[in-house]
Chain A
Amino acid sequence: MEVLISTAIGFLVACGIYLMLRARTMDVVIGLTLLSYGVNLFLFASGRLVSNAAALISPDAAAYADPLPQALVLTAIVIGFGMTAFLVVLAIRAFGDLGNDHVDGKAGK
């Protein structure tokens, strides 16, 4: 299973970076979202993955999922949303002011 999880994270990162290397702002925003998914999953996985483990404290729980990476990733998801929102509004503003959506603020070749 680890192979598949690693592969999935690798794919998310690769897709994210490829889009971030594109010349249009909207692509970069989408790429950044994909990249942050990959990073969040990586952080989550660093606490090791268990299924059917207890998430809440209870006397008869056999094993718990590691709560620390979860707390970390939860805040990362919300912060990531804030960043995406800021970036997308920045892209809109740049488009409105410059009249094109090139990352360097100039019309394409």
Chain B
Amino acid sequence: MTLLLIVLIPLLGALLVPVAGARGRMAAALMAGALTATALGLLLSLAPQVFAGEVLVSSWAWMADFGLYFSFRLDGLGLLFALLILGIGLLVILYATYYLSPKDSMSKFFAFMMLFMGAMLGVVLSENLILLLIFWELTSLTSFLLVSFWRHRADARQGARIALAITGGGGLCLLAGILLLGEIVGSYELSVVLASADLIQSHDLFAPALILILLGAFTKSAQFPFHFWLPHAMAAPTPVSAYLHSATMVKAGVFLLARMHPALSGGDLWFYLVTTAGLVTLVFAAYVALFRHDLKGLLAYSTISHLGLITLLFGFGTPLAAVAGVFHIINHATFKASLFMAAGIIDHEAGTRDMRRLNGLFKYMPYTAMLAMVAAAAMAGVPLLNGFLSKEMFFVETLALQRLDDWAWLIPALATLGGVFAVAYSLRFIHDVFFNGEPKNLPKVPHEPPRWMKIPVEVLVTLCLLVGIFPAFTVGPLLATAAAGVLQAPLPEYSLAIWHGFNIALMMSFVALVGGILFYLLRHRLFALHARLLPGEFGAKQIFDKMIIGLLDISRWLTHLLENGSLQRYMALLVGAAVTVGLYAAAQHGAINFSMAGSSIPFNGVAIAILIGLILAGVGTVLLHRHRLPALVMLGVVGLCLSLLFVYFSAPDLALTQLSVEVVTIILLLLALHFMPQEAAADSGNARRWRDAALAGGAGIGVAGLTWAVLTSPFETLSGFYLEQSVPGGGGSNVVNVILVDFRGFDTFGEITVLAIAAIGIHALLQNLVIKPNDPGRYGWAPAKPPLLLEVVSRPLLPLALMVALYLMLRGHNAPGGGFIAGLVVGIALILQYLASGVEWTQARLRINYFKVIAVGLILSLLTGVASWVVGYPFMTTTFTYLYWPVVGKFEVASAMVFDLGVFLTVVGITMVILAELGKLSGPLAPRPVPNKEESR
């Protein structure tokens, strides 16, 4: 449980810090510091058990079926990294409190930082590999936020983007690798994986799994050729660089190498891949570091080089090399974090990080200079400092390597060369910044930083010295525990003394020191040579940029290919895809049986006539489509034929609905035609028309075939239930209506809600619409009054129509009819008034707010449903009873009728909103510009 808390406290802190930050900047910093200290305290309380050799594991099932457990593990390696993360984290929080300017949001910065801290702790303390990966990706994301903290700066944004692309991409490789590893081992728990080295390394999938996992580690630890994101990430605020890019995040890659060491190392593949990457990175980055003029750029390449060194050590695969690797992780974290902080102080107090301008700062800030010089000496590997000890161990290991036979000299030689460069760039850091003449054109006069800003540097530099002079007393136990955690085996013999006598390793250190000094003395010529040979920027960043640009070009091309803004093309692609898939499915599952044997419906003259009429009217609509008015008439014929077909095939409710909807639809389209062009020129060429005809024909044949297949296949319906229950359960003998208002009432409620939304949408679309009626007079859209005969007949028709509607509605439960149909009938009757007497006349007499009608209808339907709750039944349960009325006799009252009344009102309201709103546009009330009015102005 304590283990879980250590990870959760910083993650929780990401929420608490902004809360505290509301009380002021200092409160945010204090909250971050206090939480980190608490987590550190918890960690230290567990440390004695780990030092005693225990491995603490606590586990909760998360998605056990996928092998994902919420499980944490604390062993020596985890303890070391957690100590670095929390210890240096605490120092960085103190440093950042004084580093950040009042313009920077303190609570945002510390919230991001706590999030990162929690993610990083999750990586090093995870027992489950998938959990580790989740935290791994979280570190990539949070580092993106931290690097781009100064988001007004383009270089910060770009740096963050590159870092995210590289480390995030590596994370995906790692995911694949871990999944393969889990497949091989059968478990994602580290305890199992680390104990299955033989199983893993003899498996066929070992090579791909290893390569993918290494890609994850190399991208995170900035190994060549993925190193270039790290220098660009230097656009981050310096506390971020000190924390992420020296001590923690970039160490996640080497942490992974150390963590997986027992399971993956030892074989040739591991040796060659890891040592090559490490060796190339070590030498290349050390060389480049010398030529960086930016203080942080130098430190960034130096970090890459040191990460290469650590990678190289783990690549050797021997226990002693692993000890040396762990030791160098500790030492590098201490001296590099302090150097970054010193660089930040210099930047803060002098206003620039350019080493061509920063000279002779020793006079202005002697104390900081002393600290920085000690740390830089440790980086160079000067005796009596911690960097010397681990470098010495490194040299010994390069010499002890038994693998390369005749080429055995290569690694020690290149390692020494790397050492020469390291001394040279460390010397440059000291000499160029603190001596070498006077500062040039500094923006401000440099001075010592605030007292508290120096404390973190002092602590770290003291550690460098203590470890360098008394290694066995200070770092000895921690190193032993951590190394044991890496190896998961008894430790080899090693000695942490400063003096091992005169040996080849000492000679290598000596050569590196002398060579480095010589190299630095010759620097002016070297700079000139470097500038001549390698002008301008070079390397992986440019390739990366080209790749990104190429990717963008490809996506643009693909986007344009698929999405060129032509809706016609999308439609064609959609239909084409549907036809293709349909053809494929038909080919897969056998052809449709076209024998007449499956036919069971007898031929009938009436039905044949209706169907032929349907086909002819449909084709007629297409042929006439460019003459809209005749086309609409044809469309009406299709609808009427359909309605007749419903009658013929025993569906009276459908026939009534289709008939009334058809009338409303045609009126609506005719109204629309008033505003739209009534004739259209042929604007697609022959080729396009044939293509469309082929697509449409294909779809038609497909649907026809499908219908045939459906109609001739055996049939089993679930309607039996509805037929049986309609009268006893729903109290109505019109099954269709009972299904609508009772059995599936909730669906119907949803449906009328959708209609209401459509009506509101239409209302909104018609607001403030300015439109000129198109080519007036062409089809006789004269502003003349409607015929008198229609006007006279329509008025007595209204009460009659209302009566019919009421009748249809009341009988709906037991005979064809119901709310939908009655609503449409009322709608048509009212529209007739508009048509016959004009909008103005009708508007003056029909003062109804149709939106209110819709609302009342919806509420009524809803209340019917809710009422059943009140009496303790599920939503929309209905009931019914019989009443005996005088004259009428036995009469049924069902609660579903109230629901149907709601449907009725809603449909009336919607029809009227749609048609009347559109009609108003053309009436005298419409806000349209009338030509002669404009003339009279």
Q: Could you list which residues of chain A lie within 8 angstroms of chain B, going by C-beta atoms? A: 1-27, 29-30, 33-34, 37-38, 40-42, 44-58, 64-68, 70-71, 73-75, 77-86, 88-93, 95-96, 101, 103-104, 108-109
Contacts and interface: CB of A to CB of B under 8 A. Distances in A.
Contacts of A7: 611, 615, 704
A59 to B, nearest CB: 10
Given A33-B635, A68-B722, A57 B735 contact: yes
28 contacts: A1-B603, A1-B604, A3-B596, A5-B601, A5-B707, A17-B699, A18-B692, A19-B621, A21-B571, A22-B568, A23-B683, A41-B645, A42-B710, A44-B649, A49-B711, A50-B650, A53-B650, A54-B650, A55-B735, A56-B816, A58-B733, A67-B735, A71-B744, A75-B740, A83-B758, A88-B672, A92-B672, A92-B771
Given A15-B621, A47-B719, A50-B650, A26 B677 contact: yes
B726 A21 contact: no
A73 to B, nearest CB: 6
B477 interface: no
Contact of A92 (B565, B692, B748, B769): B769
A9 to B, nearest CB: 5
B521 interface: no
B567 interface: yes
A46 B651 contact: no
A13 B598 CA distance: 23
Contacts of A84: 665, 668-669
B733 A56 contact: yes
B735 A79 contact: no
Contact of A51 (B649, B695, B718, B733): B649
Nearest to A42: B707
Contact of A10 (B602, B701, B726): B701
B762 A89 contact: yes
Contact of A11 (B566, B618, B625, B664): B618
B447 interface: no
Contacts of B695: 17-18, 21
B360 interface: no
Given A42-B703, A48-B711, A96-B770, A78 B751 contact: yes
Nearest to B628: A26
- A4, A21, A23, A109 — most chain B CB neighbours (10 Å): A21
Contact of B751 (A3, A9, A18, A75): A75
Contact of A88 (B567, B638, B669): B669
Interface stretch (B176-184, B212-220, B653-661): B653-661
Nearest to B750: A75
Listed from nearest, the 4 A-B pairs whose CB atoms lie closest are: A14-B700, A10-B704, A1-B601, A18-B696
Contacts of A77: 654, 657-658, 661
- A18, A37, A65 — most chain B CB neighbours (10 Å): A18
B676 A95 contact: yes
Contacts of A95: 675-676, 771
Contact of B654 (A44, A50, A54, A96): A44
Contacts of B702: 10
A22 B703 contact: no
Contacts of A75: 740, 747-748, 751
B712 interface: yes
Contacts of A52: 650
A46 to B, nearest CB: 6
Interface of B: 565-568, 571-572, 575, 596, 598-604, 607-608, 611-612, 614-615, 618-619, 621-622, 625, 628, 631-632, 635, 638-639, 642, 645-646, 648-654, 657-658, 661, 664-665, 668-669, 672-673, 675-677, 680-681, 683-684, 692-693, 695-697, 699-708, 710-712, 715, 717-719, 722-723, 726-727, 733-736, 739-740, 744, 747-748, 751, 754-755, 758-759, 761-762, 765-766, 769-771, 814-816, 820, 907, 910, 914, 918
A78 B753 CA distance: 12
- If over half of A's interface residues share one DSSP class (helix, strand or loop), that class is named, otherwise mixed; here it is helix
Given A56-B815, A89-B766, A93-B765, A12 B638 contact: yes
Contact of B717 (A1, A12, A56, A68): A68
A87 B415 CA distance: 74
B661 A67 contact: no
B618 A71 contact: no
A3 B704 CA distance: 9
A37 B901 CA distance: 27
Nearest to A103: B567
B425 to A, nearest CB: 61
A48 to B, nearest CB: 5
A89 B273 CA distance: 66
A86 B762 contact: yes
Contacts, number: 304
Contacts of A34: 618, 621, 635, 638
Given A21-B568, A101-B680, 5 more contacts: A56-B814, A86-B762, A89-B766, A101-B676, A104-B567
Given A58-B733, A70-B736, A21 B615 contact: no
A107 B667 CA distance: 28
A108 B661 contact: no
A6 B708 contact: yes
- If over half of B's interface residues share one DSSP class (helix, strand or loop), that class is named, otherwise mixed; here it is helix
Contacts of B712: 2
Contacts of B612: 4
Given A85-B668, A95-B676, A104-B566, A66 B719 contact: yes
B603 A55 contact: no
Nearest to B680: A24
Given A9-B703, A17-B700, A74-B820, A30 B675 contact: no
- A13, A48, A93 — most chain B CB neighbours (10 Å): A13
Contact of A57 (B665, B701, B727, B747): B727
A18 B697 CA distance: 8
A1 B604 CA distance: 8
B575 A46 contact: no
A74 B683 contact: no
Contacts of B693: 18
B302 to A, nearest CB: 58
A77 to B, nearest CB: 5
Nearest to A79: B751
B704 A6 contact: yes
- A16, A42, A64, A74 — most chain B CB neighbours (10 Å): A74
B754 A79 contact: yes
Contacts of A29: 669, 672
B567 to A, nearest CB: 5
Contact of B765 (A12, A26, A80, A90): A90
B610 to A, nearest CB: 9
Contacts of A83: 758
Given A2-B708, A77-B661, A81-B665, A12 B614 contact: yes
Nearest to B820: A78
Contacts of B815: 56
A33 B755 CA distance: 17
A30 B814 contact: no
A70 B615 CA distance: 22
Nearest to A71: B739
- B706, B751, B754, B762 — most chain A CB neighbours (10 Å): B762
Contacts of A90: 765
Contacts of A65: 649-651
Contact of A37 (B639, B650, B918): B639
A22 to B, nearest CB: 7
Contacts of B748: 75
Contact of A3 (B599, B625, B654): B599
A45 B719 CA distance: 14
A33 B402 CA distance: 82
A37 B707 contact: no
Nearest to B700: A14
A93 B707 CA distance: 37
A23 B704 contact: no
Contact of B914 (A8, A12, A37, A85): A85
B653 A70 contact: yes
